[in-house]
A and B are shown apart, each in its own frame.
Chain A
Amino acid sequence: MNAVIRTEHLVKRFGRVTALDRLDLEVARGETHGFLGPNGAGKSTAIRVLLGMLRSDEGRAELFGADPWKDAAELHRRLAYVPGDVALWPGLTGGETIDLLGRLRGGVDKRRRDELLERFDLDPRKKGRSYSKGNRQKVALVAAFAADVELLLLDEPTSGLDPLMGAVFNECVKEAAAAGRTVLLSSHIMSEVEALCDRVSIIRKGAIVETGTLAEMRHLSRSRVRATLKTPARGLEDHEGVHDLRVDGLDVECNVDAGALDDVLARLAAAGVAGLVCEPASLEQIFMRFYGDELAAKGVQEGNGS
């Protein structure tokens, strides 16, 4: 029993809208798992089912091997959650909110709490109604990172943070991972996920379309190859593994399937290489592959600006 989170064919409908359409998600103990998808893909709905706030219509959801709907209270003791849009009680100060949330999980480590308050540069004396969006998020983050829990569920936790606080957040996630905690990080900020996550699941229209480590995904993906040759290369135009080829004199630029890489490089070497750059696909490019058709339908070209 090594999976902390496991869903099988999970379906959740709101009236006629199907928010989760046979979602299969698995997060192993101790891993930091990126949960990628645009707004409305079903990330928050999946997390709320895992939290037992919503009851699934079909399929199974398991948290620590138990049913999150039935055993919500016991399971919640072992996790902390940061919603994407944190709403606080207008009359409670940030400090009171952090203490309350900590006590509901069984206790507050005051040293850790104060240390986090300092790192996130948060004034705990302000009332909930006077915090900005970023500061409301910090309140929830401090409460979550201060908690001694096995699992952190973070739903777009950095959407209101400035880059400085984003760096503090990254540090805190890394510390949590080092302490052996499992993290599910839902996000649409690729650099964040790339920097923090061991494995990534991409969700689209309520279903997981791709899951694996970044290396595995790169392996399935195309690399970008740019070369300056000594003599014109041959056999690239009609090569099966070569895409988007552009030749400008002796400068060659193309995307190459992972499987065709050694063959293409051999051909380039045969022509003589004066300069070579080979980049693995960025997470953004991998992500865009799954949403390319949607973008195309909206008249945006894939790979623009990358």
Chain B
Amino acid sequence: MSTAAAEIEDGLGTLAGTGKLLRFQARRSRVYLAGWIAGLAGGTWSVAAAFPGLYPDAAGRASYAVTVNTPAMRSMTGPETYIAAYPGSTGAMFSHQMILWTGALTAVMFILLMTRLTRADEETSRSEVLRSNPIGRRADLAAALLLSGAAAVALGAAMALAAAGLPGGQGGSAVLFGLAHTAIGLSFAGVAAVAAQVAGYASTANGLGFAVLGWAALTAGVGNAQGNWAVWLSPIGWSQLTYVYTPEQRWWPLACAGALAVCAVAAAFALVTRRDFGQGMVAGRLGRPEAKPGLRSATALTFRLTKGVVWAGVIAMLLLGAAFGSVLGSADEMIEGLSEAERALLQQGGASIEENVAATFTAIDAIFATLFGLLVVGRARKEETQGRGELIASAAVRRAGWPGSYLPAALWAATAATAAAAVFVALAGAGSTGDGSFFGTLVYGSLLQLPAVWTVTAFAFAAYTWLPRLGWLRWLAWVWVFVVAYFGNLLDLPGWAKAISPFDHLAAYPAEEVDWAAAGLVTLVAAALSVLGYLGARRRDLHFS
């Protein structure tokens, strides 16, 4: 037996080489980790910095608290305990509004990280090279978990720093705010580690992780809306239950996250030695030996390859639309807590509260639906970097026909997702307000957002064809659009900064009359960006690695 093999057998056993792998993985993931941590903490910091100025006095916060204290609004924020603390603590208000969203993003970060470090590497046979070295069978899982743990701690520290300036906390509030995110990170790293052992493929592993995230968001939403035990079933709920920055602040709910992480890690370690390299516990199935008659063009292939994204978009937007719609009915309750000035602000143009809220919700829905268009554009880039497009590019397909086919596919995904949101926000909205005529209004209002959805999607496509390496450009565009719509008024952004977002130019129907000139102009911009994108697709080299 060679010395290396002997080394593996004694002492460390199946963990041999973990340290080396950890250093290697840390180096490979440094950009990913730095980007996510900086993005999450930076975003949190910018909101935290704006909050005290926006709600400086207890009276303002108290009146805002009343508007938030409806089941529907609680389902999209957090537990009632925070709301009671609004007047006395800006930090409580901030945490109440933020943790669900920053927590969900943290979960996404750790699901993707864990799959990246484990199964994705196996599929590309990158880790096969590593495994052939004197490295134990559990070493790459151990290294992935250690790196995720370190990343969770680093994220927590950054989040604590981001929240440090908020008034209203007790000793250690900022640290607890950070730890709440560390806990979510650890929980989802553990869940994703198990998913990576069970799933047949990396993409399935990601899907399982996101399903658990969906569960976490759903149980937290239901539990917070009804103020019951359901929130205790949610890894994100545990972080909300710390009641950070309120007088009832407590640390122990995070122990649930610790317990989940420990159990998940134990399960993942038990499973990893029981499965074959590159295979999950559940084997992949055989498929059809011949193609369906419809699969006969590059465009057909693109639509087939992006079908999953479209379905994910439709289902996600249907849920989000239904959630927003169900809130509309309680918009009346909000109005009671508002000051005269605020009422005047909301009711400008003589529109009702419902109409104003509906205009905001349809815009936010459409912005989220745009995400799925951008995901499709991202697939085009992947076809190139992973070399698959080479087979298509060498076939009788025009250059604008293949990567070009990703523009119609992206527009279709974004449009389908917007339409799903439109129907379900309308159904739930008509139901919760008890006003049947609202159905048509909401569908119409949602579909009126489409020109802006198309513009952002077409921009992403043009950015991909002209500057393929700068994939972050499309996410920057989306984040900007989201910030303008969600925090634009809250952060008091200047007009020109808002004007970059195409959504900002569309009329806030039904609160305002439809502005057809603006809608037409935004559609023209979308068309111009599409043409620009096609030109880019026609002129540049295709690089397949």
Complex Cα distance A83/B288, Å? 24
Q: Are A127 and B288 interface neighbours, CB within 8 A?
A: no
Q: Give the interface SS of chain B, mostly helix, strand, loop or mixed.
A: loop
A130 to B276, CA, bound (A): 13
Taking CB atoms and an 8 Å cut-off, the chain B residues in 87-130 that contact chain A are 123
- How far is A51 from B394 in the complex, measured between Cα atoms in Å? 6
Interchain CB contact under 8 A, B390 and A74: no
State whether A76 and B286 are in contact (beta carbons under 8 Å apart), knowing that A54-B542, A96-B295 are contacts in the complex.
no
Taking CB atoms and an 8 Å cut-off, the chain B residues in 169-195 that contact chain A are none
Separation of A86 and B394 alpha carbons in the complex (Å): 12
Chain B contact residues, CB within 8 Å of chain A? 123, 201, 203, 284-292, 295-298, 301, 304-305, 386-388, 390-399, 401, 541-542, 544
Q: Which residues of B lie under 8 Å from residue A77 when comparing CB positions? A: 396
Give the bracket for the number of chain A residues in contact with chain B: 35 or more
**A73→B391 contact, CB < 8 A:** no
Q: Are B295 and A91 closer than 8 Å at their CB atoms?
A: no
Q: Residue of A at shortest CB range from B385?
A: A87
Which residue in B285, B391, B397 is a CB contact (below 8 Å) of A83?
B391
Mark contacts of A51-80 with chain B using CB atoms, 8 A cut-off: 1 yes-contact digit, 0 otherwise: 111110000000000000000111011011
Q: Are B291 and A106 in contact (CB under 8 A)?
A: no
Interface residues of A in 73-103 (CB under 8 A from B): 73-74, 76-77, 79-81, 83, 85-93, 95-97, 99-101, 103
Q: Is the CB of A126 within 8 A of B395?
A: no
Contacts of B398 in A (CB 8 A): 72-73
Most chain B CB within 10 A, of A73, A86, A87, A101, is at A87
Selected contact of B284 from candidates A92, A130, A143, CB within 8 Å: A130
Assembled-state Cα–Cα distance A271/B289 (Å): 70
Cβ of A111 under 8 Å from chain B: no
CB distance from A286 to the nearest CB of B (A): 31
> Which of the residues B123, B201, B301, B401 comes within 8 Å of A100, measured between beta carbons?
B301
Cβ-defined partner of B399 (8 Å) among A72, A124, A125 = A72
- A87–B284 CB distance below 8 A: no
**Across chains A and B, which 5 residue pairs bring their CB atoms closest together, nearest first?**
A99-B291, A87-B387, A104-B395, A93-B287, A81-B394
User: How far does the alpha carbon of A127 sit from the alpha carbon of B288 in the complex, in Å?
Assistant: 9
A104 to B201, Cβ gap below 8 A?
no
> With a CB–CB cut-off of 8 A, which chain A residues contact B396?
73-74, 76-77, 104-106
**Closest Cβ of chain A: how far from B267's Cβ, in Å?**
25
Q: List 14 A-B contacts (CB under 8 A).
A: A53-B393, A72-B398, A76-B395, A77-B396, A81-B394, A86-B391, A87-B387, A87-B390, A90-B201, A104-B296, A126-B287, A127-B287, A129-B284, A153-B394
Check if A96 sits within 8 Å of B297, measured CB to CB: no
- Report chain A residues within 8 Å CB of B295: 96, 99-100, 103
Closest to B392 in A: A104
A140 in contact with B391 (CB, 8 Å): yes
Chain A nearest Cβ from B465, distance in angstroms: 14
Contact A96 B287 (CB under 8 A): yes
Please state if A55 and B541 are interface contacts (CB–CB under 8 Å). Answer: yes
**When chains A and B are docked, how far (Å) is the Cα of A127 from the Cα of B396?**
24
Residues of A near B392 (CB, < 8 A) are 104
Give bound CA distance, A79 to B391, whole Å. Answer: 12
Residues of chain A within 8 A (CB-CB) of B298 are: 104
Known A53-B541, A53-B544, A130-B284: A93·B289 in contact at CB below 8 Å: yes
Closest to B290 in A: A95
Q: A99-B290, A100-B301 are in contact. List 11 more A-B contacts (CB 8 A).
A: A53-B394, A83-B391, A87-B391, A92-B287, A93-B287, A95-B290, A99-B295, A124-B289, A125-B286, A125-B288, A153-B394
B283 to chain A, nearest CB (A): 9
